[in-house]
Structure formats: structure tokens, C-alpha cells
Structure 1
Amino acid sequence: MAQHRDSARESILTAFQELLINTSGSGASLDAVAQAAGVTKGGLLYHFGSRDGLETALIERLETLAAAECDRMRAAPNGAAAYYVTLTEYVDSPLDRATLAGGTLARRNPRARGVVLEMRRRYFDILNDDLRDPELARATMLLADGLYYDATTLAEPFEHELDVPAFLARMRPARG
């Protein structure tokens, strides 16, 4: 029975997340979330208590996924920078979807905004530790943002595709 409760809760939270993304937040009413999740509004409120409870759960999902991503970045065998700009497993991943929804929520929810900003700060710190240069760390973040934009909006390779590992090797300062 507890597993069914957990799966219903996750379905509701995922429906909320996807409505935030797909409607820029405007279509993520409790009624719409309940309908998208296939539950009654009472069922939604049983699991989350209120809109605030739903938002808190989404923020917690994002925090958990971002913390795991930071661990993967730190442990990446080719370095955090090479890992960070590799999008093959990121686009449409649970972290990607939670980040997009969190960004939408951050426009009006100060806690969500704080979590998104802290997530980016942690990514920067990990990249800076890897590259040992704050400007290169920031440039790497911007590079990844641009690659993500291409991957999610163009859905096809750019005419002059970037050899990311070779580019990063050229950027990386000599370690001595």
C-alpha cells in the first residue's frame, strides 16, 4: 500500500513539474495537476496538503537531483568540465526536467530561486576546482548552456560541431 501511495505522489509531482514546463506555470493549477496525474483534487491534497506543499516537494526533488549531479561531476574520470558539457544523458533527464520546472517556479517562489542559484553556484565551484580558473569555469558553464540550447531547440547538429574534449584540452591550464 505504501508503494502505491509513493507512486501516486510521484505521479502528481511529475504532472505538476510537466505543467510548469509546458505552460510556463500558468496552467499548473491544482485542478489541472490533479487531472494530468489522474487523481482527484482531494487525492492531490491528501499527498501534498496545498499548492505550497506541492512546490516544496518539487524544490526538494530538484535539490536531491542536483546534489547527485554534483557528486557525479566531482567523480567524473575525465574531469568535471568534460562531464559538464556532455549532454548525451542530460537532455530530458529527470534533472533536466526538474531544473526547467524549478526555473519556472523560481520566477515567483524565493525558495526555488535560491535553490536554482545555489545549484549553479555549486556547479561553478566544482568547475573552478577542476579548471583552476574562474573565467574558464564560467566560460565552460556558458559553453554548456549554448550546447544545451542547440540540442533542445535545433534538434540537429550545428554545421561546425565542436570537438568538446579537444576544446577543453586547449582551454585547460597546464597543471604543475
Structure 2
Amino acid sequence: MAQHRDSARESILTAFQELLLDTSGSGASLDAVARAAGVTKGGLLYHFGSRDGLETALIDRLETLAAAEYERMRAAPQGAAAYYVSLAEYVNSPLDRATLAGGALARGNPRARAVIVEMRRRYFGILNDDLRDPDLARATMLLTDGLYYDATTIGEPFEHELDIPAFLARLTPRAVS
């Protein structure tokens, strides 16, 4: 029975997340979330208690997914910068979806905003540890932001026009030697 409760809870949370993304937050009412999750409003409230409960759970999900990502970046055999720039597994991943939904919440939820800001700070720190140069770490973040924008707005990143490992090696000769 606990597994069914966990499954229902995750379904409701995912429905909330996707409604935030699909409607820029405006259509993520409790009624709409319950409908999208296939539960009653009472069922939703059983699991989360309120809209605030949903927001808290989504932010918790984002923090958990981000923590796992920091560890993957640190352990990446190709280095954190090359890992970070590679978007193949990130676009539309659970972390990507949760980050975008967290961004939608950040406009009105101070904790969501703080988590998004902290994520950027942590990514920067990991990249700076890898590249040993704050300017290169920031430039790598901006490069990745641009590649992500291309991948998510036109559906086709320009990665094929840039040999990312070679580019990073040119930028970071002391980090790769």
C-alpha cells in the first residue's frame, strides 16, 4: 500500500510540474493538478495538504536531483566542464524538467528562487574547481546556456558545429595537461 501512496504522490507531483511548464504556472491550480494526475482534489490534498505543500515537494525534488547531478559532474571521467557542456542526456531529463518548473515557481516563491540561484553557484564552483579559472568557468556556463537555448528552442543544437572537447582543450590547456 505504501508503494501505491508513493506512486500516487509522484504522479501528482509530476502533474504539477508539467502543468507549471505547460501553462507558465497560471494553469497549475489544485483542481487542474488533480485532473491531470487522475486523482480527486481530496486525494491531492491527502498527499500534499495545499498548494504550498506541492511547491515544497517540487523544490525538494529539484534539490535531490541537483545533488545527484553535482556528484555526476565531479566524477565525470571527461572532466566537469566537458560533462556540463554535453547536453545529450540533460535536455528533457527529470532534472531539466524540475529545473524549469522550479524556475516558474521562482517568480513568486523565495525558496524556489534561492534553490535555482544555489544551483548556478554550485555548478560554477564545480566548473571552477575543474578549470581552475573563474572566467573560464563562467564562459563555460554561458556557452552551455547558449547550446541549451538552441537545443530547446529550435530543437537542434549547434553542437555539431563545435568540437566541444577540442574547444575546451584550447581554452583550458593547464586544466587538461
Paired residue type of 1:22: D
The equivalent of 1:7 in structure 2 is: 7
> RMSD value over aligned CA atoms?
1.3
Q: Which has the higher helix share?
A: 2
The equivalent of 1:83 in structure 2 is: 83
Does structure 1 retain, via aligned residues, the 8 Å contact 2:147–2:157? no
Deviation at 1:160, TM superposition (A): 6.7
Q: Deviations over 1:110-148 (max 9, x none)?
A: 000000100110000000000000010000001111111
The equivalent of 1:22 in structure 2 is: 22
Taking a change above 3 Å as real, the CA distance of residues 123 and 159 of structure 1, as seen in their structure-2 partners, is closer
In structure 2, C-alpha distance between the alignment counterparts of 1:158 and 1:103, rounded to whole Å: 25
Aligned residue pairs: how many? 176
The equivalent of 2:96 in structure 1 is: 96
Percent same amino acid among aligned pairs? 85
In structure 1, C-alpha distance between the alignment counterparts of 2:84 and 2:157, rounded to whole Å: 18
Matched, 1:143 2:149: no
Q: Deviations over 1:22-51 (max 9, x none)?
A: 110000000000000000000000000011
Does structure 2 retain, via aligned residues, the 8 Å contact 1:81–1:130? yes
In structure 2, C-alpha distance between the alignment counterparts of 1:16 and 1:113, rounded to whole Å: 18
Deviation at 1:174, TM superposition (A): 1.6
Paired residue type of 1:70: Y
TM-score (norm 2): 0.96
In structure 2, list runs of 5 or more residues that go unmatched. Answer: none
The equivalent of 2:34 in structure 1 is: 34
In structure 2, C-alpha distance between the alignment counterparts of 1:19 and 1:86, rounded to whole Å: 27
Does structure 2 retain, via aligned residues, the 8 Å contact 1:131–1:173? no
Matched position secondary structure for 1:174 = helix
In structure 1, C-alpha distance between the alignment counterparts of 2:159 and 2:39, rounded to whole Å: 46
Taking a change above 3 Å as real, the CA distance of residues 159 and 7 of structure 1, as seen in their structure-2 partners, is closer
Give the ranges of 4+ consecutive aligned residues of structure 1 lying more than 6 Å apart after TM superposition.
Answer: none
Q: Deviations over 1:148-170 (max 9, x none)?
A: 11111111243971111110000
Paired residue type of 2:89: E
Taking a change above 3 Å as real, the CA distance of residues 159 and 37 of structure 1, as seen in their structure-2 partners, is closer
Does structure 2 retain, via aligned residues, the 8 Å contact 1:34–1:41? yes
In structure 2, C-alpha distance between the alignment counterparts of 1:137 and 1:150, rounded to whole Å: 20
In structure 2, C-alpha distance between the alignment counterparts of 1:143 and 1:14, rounded to whole Å: 30
In structure 1, list runs of 5 or more residues that go unmatched. Answer: none
In structure 2, C-alpha distance between the alignment counterparts of 1:98 and 1:14, rounded to whole Å: 9
Matched, 1:128 2:141: no
